[in-house]
A and B are shown apart, each in its own frame.
Chain A
Amino acid sequence: MQKKKSRPDHRVYYWMILPAIFIYAALYLYPAISNLRYSLTRWDGIGTPKFVGLHNFTNMLTNDDLFFKVLGNNVRFSLLVVTLQTAFALFFAIFLVKNTRTTIFLRTLYFFPTILSSVSVAMIWLFLYDPNFGAINVGLKKFGLNSFALNWLGSENSALYAIAFTQIWFHTGQMMVIYIAGLQQIPLELYEAAEVDGASKWQQFKSVTWPMALPTTAVVIAYTTIQSFRAFDLVYAMTQGGPNNSSSILATLIYLTAFNEFRLGYAAAQSILMVITIVILTLVQRRVIRTKYGV
């Protein structure tokens, strides 16, 4: 007689993931749902939230120039940071992909800013950008480039770009490390074959490195986009969004709306639109990369 094989009790697995689900629900799901609920209210953080339906959203889309100004800032900031940070990270990674003493030293050097706190980075760059005594303007004036010595953080035309440059300096090393990990996975045979075929360095990059690094690029771009939307600390420590909100990004706007003006309901609605913007941008990026490069 054949012994009946006992079936494993799968229910135990559900019990095992329960703590993780609980933590996720408590720390992510509940706040997200609460945020959705508060976005439909007018609330100063003290009294009882007053239900206002979709008023916060309609007001933001029809009667809030500041929101669109800041959204525009954020998109420009993200495009600049994503493009330049990715390009620089790839550039450095290509040159530092081999493991030699010099490259390891340089990798450490380029990665170094990443381990600094964002406030420290902000302080360093505040000093460098000082329009009257900062090293950048002093240096430019020394070489007779007075017209390039700008009021970097004090002008509406340059503040956002100055912070974007700081952000790029701050995080390029981190992305470079991700790229190096990706580039080291590319089989050396492909380069050897290309060399045998007489491909130049540029052709090797175009036909081997770039296509093979695309999956890593997709990760770097997605991560950098999200990072650029979350660059709150740098913006807040350097300009608090000024002058005249010219360097404000959505994260600083939401913070100030919630905790400076105590309009928590409105800030909740702003944060929902911020999430929607990030999702749209990330989907567009993914679609472009997929259709163009098949990754």
Chain B
Amino acid sequence: MKTKRIASFGALRLGVISTLALALVITPLGVGMAASTPSFGKSCPTEGTSTGTSSKSLQCTKNSSGKLTWVYVRLGSSTLSPVPALSAPDGTIEFWHWRAEDKIVLQSIIDKFEAANPGTYINQVIMPSGDYTNTAYAKIRTNPKAAIFATFRGSQFAQFAKGDMMTDLNSQRYTKRNVVANGLVAGQYGGKQLGIPYQYLFNNPVYNTAIFAKEKWALPTNLTTLLSWCKTAKAAGYTPLAWSGGFRPNAGQILNSMLMNSAPDYATLQNRIEAIDTGSADLTSPWFTDMANKYKKMADAGCFPENATGVTDAAALNLFATGKAAVLPTGSFSMGAVKAINPDMSGKMNLFSLITTDDKPQYVGIHNNTFILSVNKNATRTNQKIANAFISYLVTGSIAGIYANATSQHVNVLDVNYTNVDLLNTSAWQAKKTLLAPRFLWLNQGVRDLVEDALIAIVGGKPVDATLADFSKQIKQKLSA
């Protein structure tokens, strides 16, 4: 008995020593492997630099002794590795979306999917975005073949969700293991995961790095430096912000940045927006008036183009793409369009932190997760299975990479190898403290339009208080009808 105990103690001792020895060998090996991350070199020179959105992404962070080191960033909601795509049963389904500009790349992905699943066919049904909400809703609802469809975050997703048209994807393994956890929120409704937000956009202004380098400008870090920079840029002959006041959908993008540091926390911001959305608060509230006054200050400092309220989307894009404007206040999604106008802009764009407070900012930027992919609850069971398999295929890293690099859009998927230089330059933003675009917290599109119109009118030179009072009245009338 005693001999046996001694022997087992010996075995235990041997086990402990071997484990320690193994740990001593493996740890430096692992550190060495992490340190030799191919794209970013052995040392990390800039805090916040990220290796991207891999399931084992690294981020350059200061350790307790203040030294910059690579650490793992867990971007998925599971620590397990991403799962491969599901296989699909035979059949034909329709994929409804509005992104005509993505038709070719999506078709190439569909071709691969069909090749991997012989007997399965997917047809794209693309509707103009302007008609999508109203027409697609009615058609998808009654079409059992329309098994997969996309919606955008905010009023449209809410509208489709209210119509009980989407299956819950919460139990799908790919939801937890293949998708960036942060980005899932936009596809949740009533405690269910009703869609997978596919795109990970930054609704931050985009700036021309070449102009900033040439003019030796430092990026503004607060409201004071922003206003001062606007004056400097204007004096140098540039349009500081190529803002399209004549096209509300893009003019409103800047609202995200204006809102991001306007409230003590996200919950307060959400409550304040909801109060305006439902009519329990007015635009004349001190919080909103303060923000509107910042628009006025920016207009007075010359941040916006001449005749800003008449500048169309195309004109603003041209101003930026041709180097006449330093910043395009829309988002990362505009980079593709800028390069289409001027391919020389490739590699000369990065995201601009539009901070409009002189206090310490809580957030440095905005992100949004949209192109939310859902499975139609009214589709047949087989068609739903095909749709589910196709979503699982789209959220595998290699396939999502094809989509991302072709469309110049980040995706909400782990293990994507971004080869597009502009996506690489900006992928670090996925690890920064950015706010989920608050503009889409307005669920009543009519109210949001009026809010944005009021701010456009203020930039156009209308007095702040009178304009806010006028638009508050319009909102009240709209909500009482």
Is A63 on the interface with B (CB-CB < 8 A)?
yes
Chain B residues 305 to 327 lying within 8 A of chain A, measured CB to CB, are 305-312, 314-315, 318
A248 to B150, CA, bound (A): 30
Smallest CB gap from A260: residue in B: B445
Q: Are B311 and A131 in contact (CB under 8 A)?
A: yes
A244 to B449, CA, bound (A): 10
A132 to B444, CA, bound (A): 34
Smallest CB gap from A259: residue in B: B134
Q: Are A65 and B474 in contact (CB under 8 A)?
A: yes
A272 to chain B, nearest CB (A): 15
Interface size class on chain A is 35 or more
A31 to chain B, nearest CB (A): 14
Is A110 on the interface with B (CB-CB < 8 A)?
no
A64 to B130, CA, bound (A): 25
With A243-B453, A244-B453 in contact, is A154–B460 under 8 Å at CB?
A: yes
Q: Are A154 and B309 in contact (CB under 8 A)?
A: yes
Chain B residues 118 to 145 lying within 8 A of chain A, measured CB to CB, are 130, 133-134, 137-138
With A56-B481, A59-B481, A154-B246 in contact, is A130–B137 under 8 Å at CB?
A: no
A93 to B5, CA, bound (A): 116
Q: Are A261 and B307 in contact (CB under 8 A)?
A: no
Residues of A within 8 A of B307 (CB): 131-132, 151, 154
Is A170 on the interface with B (CB-CB < 8 A)?
no
B141 to chain A, nearest CB (A): 9
B458 to chain A, nearest CB (A): 11
Is A77 on the interface with B (CB-CB < 8 A)?
no
Q: Are A66 and B480 in contact (CB under 8 A)?
A: no
Q: Are B446 and A258 in contact (CB under 8 A)?
A: no
B131 to chain A, nearest CB (A): 8
Number of residues of chain B lying within 8 A (CB) of chain A? 36
Residues of A within 8 A of B305 (CB): 132
Residues of B within 8 A of A44 (CB): 162
A259 to B311, CA, bound (A): 26
Q: Are B474 and A261 in contact (CB under 8 A)?
A: no
With A133-B315, A256-B446, A259-B133 in contact, is A66–B477 under 8 Å at CB?
A: yes
Is A266 on the interface with B (CB-CB < 8 A)?
yes
Q: Are A242 and B453 in contact (CB under 8 A)?
A: yes
Interface digits, B425-445 against A, CB 8 Å rule (1 contact, 0 not)? Answer: 000000000000000000011
A263 to B474, CA, bound (A): 16
A239 to B313, CA, bound (A): 11
Q: Are A65 and B477 in contact (CB under 8 A)?
A: yes
Chain A residues 134 to 169 lying within 8 A of chain B, measured CB to CB, are 151-155
A153 to B460, CA, bound (A): 12
A-B contact count (CB 8 A): 96
8 other A-B residue contacts (CB within 8 Å) besides A63-B477, A152-B310, A154-B245? A130-B311, A155-B460, A242-B248, A243-B309, A245-B453, A260-B133, A263-B481, A266-B481
A45 to B163, CA, bound (A): 9
A65 to chain B, nearest CB (A): 6
A133 to B446, CA, bound (A): 31
Smallest CB gap from B305: residue in A: A132
9 contacts between A and B (CB under 8 A): A45-B138, A46-B162, A63-B481, A65-B474, A130-B315, A154-B309, A243-B246, A243-B457, A244-B456
Smallest CB gap from A236: residue in B: B130
Is B478 on the interface with A (CB-CB < 8 A)?
yes
Q: Are B306 and A131 in contact (CB under 8 A)?
A: yes
B276 to chain A, nearest CB (A): 15
Residues of B within 8 A of A266 (CB): 481
Interface digits, A40-83 against B, CB 8 Å rule (1 contact, 0 not)? Answer: 00001110000000001001100111100000000000000000
Q: Are A65 and B306 in contact (CB under 8 A)?
A: no
Is A191 on the interface with B (CB-CB < 8 A)?
no
B255 to chain A, nearest CB (A): 16
Residues of B within 8 A of A262 (CB): 159, 445
A59 to B481, CA, bound (A): 6
Q: Are A64 and B481 in contact (CB under 8 A)?
A: yes
Is B297 on the interface with A (CB-CB < 8 A)?
no
Residues of B within 8 A of A240 (CB): 248
Q: Are B460 and A243 in contact (CB under 8 A)?
A: yes
Is B13 on the interface with A (CB-CB < 8 A)?
no
Is A92 on the interface with B (CB-CB < 8 A)?
no
Residues of A within 8 A of B245 (CB): 154, 243
Q: Are B473 and A65 in contact (CB under 8 A)?
A: yes
Q: Are A151 and B163 in contact (CB under 8 A)?
A: no
Residues of A within 8 A of B312 (CB): 126, 130, 153
Is A129 on the interface with B (CB-CB < 8 A)?
yes
A244 to B468, CA, bound (A): 12
Q: Are B315 and A132 in contact (CB under 8 A)?
A: yes
Q: Are A244 and B457 in contact (CB under 8 A)?
A: yes
Residues of A within 8 A of B314 (CB): 126-127
Q: Are A131 and B248 in contact (CB under 8 A)?
A: no
Q: Ordered nearest first, which 6 A-B pairs have the shortest CB separation? A: A154-B310, A131-B307, A154-B309, A261-B446, A259-B134, A131-B310
A250 to B162, CA, bound (A): 29
A60 to B480, CA, bound (A): 10
Q: Are B456 and A243 in contact (CB under 8 A)?
A: yes
A103 to B334, CA, bound (A): 48
Residues of B within 8 A of A60 (CB): 481
Selected contact of B246 from candidates A56, A236, A239, A258, CB within 8 Å: A239
Q: Are B310 and A45 in contact (CB under 8 A)?
A: no
Residues of A within 8 A of B473 (CB): 65
Smallest CB gap from B315: residue in A: A130
